[in-house]
Amino acid sequence: MKISELLKTNKPTLSFEVFPPKTDAGFESIRDAVIKIADLKPDFMSVTYGANGGAKKYSAKIAKEIQERGTPAIAHMTCVESDHDSLAGQLATLKDYGIENVLALRGDLPEDADPLLWDFQHASDLAGFIKEEGTFCVGGACYPEKHPESVSIEEDIDCMKIKQDAGCEFFTTQMFFDNEIFYRYLFKLRAAGVTVPVIAGLMPVTNAKQMERIMSLSQAFIPRSYVHILDKYGDKPESLKQASIAYTTAQIVDLLSNGINNIHIYAMNNVELAKTIQENLSELIPSCAE
């Protein structure tokens, strides 16, 4: 099923993001976790490409496993060191696997990389190529607090309009921890003519080091209430997990109450986390109770 069609129903949805293994040795354990999350029957699942595209050969295989369990899958693709021929081959593989959805991303820049040498320099270039190559539903990423490389939020939103015009049919946000930031961002998107659905991306933080990495990569604002959680439970992993899931659940309730129907959880292959959040929403999102 194409994600664009699912989003048109305007029904609340819950989806999870997982990542592929980096090596053959890690394939079975990650496959097992992904299958268990797929068996929870979320509305769809998204499979990352690996850092710098390093796990791309496993990404399609994991997406195929998800599809075979009746859950729509989104396969990520990045511009990083990709060319027309290699991407055309990957798209052909996705087609063979029955995967209809692709998330077009620029990707994190490898050290000393020169994007000017790539066939695709921007996610909008990649989105246009994917649309030309087949009948895929193409999505993109958006950044409520602007992309770290953007000069301003206005410049960043201009890029979202370019992505939409290139063929992106929905956007999924980078993780955020303050809903007010998301609401203000969504208002600006709509004012700029970005009309496609925007899926709210959230991430319960299960360890303190994870938060350090999030802050260094995305520069996301951490509300004082979340800082208190990290200070109180940062050295108690199980307590932190429970408190973070409760915080994210409260975010979701607020989003749903304000008409934001599509929720995406960066689950990091954590089966327990995915299951607990789904159980917490059993009366709010119909698919969670099925």
Q: Predicted confidence band at 227 (pLDDT cuts at 50, 70, 90)?
A: confident
- The whole-angstrom separation of Cα 227 and Cα 216 is 15
Q: pLDDT at residue 29 above 60?
A: yes
Q: Could you give the percent of the chain with pLDDT greater than 90?
A: 70
CATH dotted code for 3-289: 3.20.20.220
Q: What is the pLDDT of residues 109-161, one digit of tens each?
A: 666 666 666 678 789 999 999 999 889 999 999 999 988 888 999 999 999 99
Q: What is the pLDDT of residues 228-262, one digit of tens each?
A: 998 899 899 899 999 999 999 999 999 999 999 99
**Positions marked catalytic:** 17
Average pLDDT over residues 198-205: 95
- The whole-angstrom separation of Cα 177 and Cα 201 is 10
Closest C-alpha to 44, from 264, 205, 259, 281: 264
Q: What is the pLDDT of residues 162-197, one digit of tens each?
A: 999 999 999 999 999 999 999 999 999 999 999 999
Q: What is the pLDDT of residues 65-92, one digit of tens each?
A: 999 999 999 999 988 767 888 889 999 9
Closest C-alpha to 73, from 37, 107, 108, 105: 37
Neighbours of 123 (CB within 10 A): 25
Per-residue pLDDT, 199 = 98
**Which residues, 6 or more positions from 130, have their beta carbon under 8 angstroms from its beta carbon?**
77, 87, 91, 102, 104, 136, 138, 167
**Which residues, 6 or more positions from 268, have their beta carbon under 8 angstroms from its beta carbon?**
17, 18, 19, 203, 206
Q: pLDDT at residue 101 above 60?
A: yes
Please give the mean pLDDT across all residues of the chain. Answer: 90
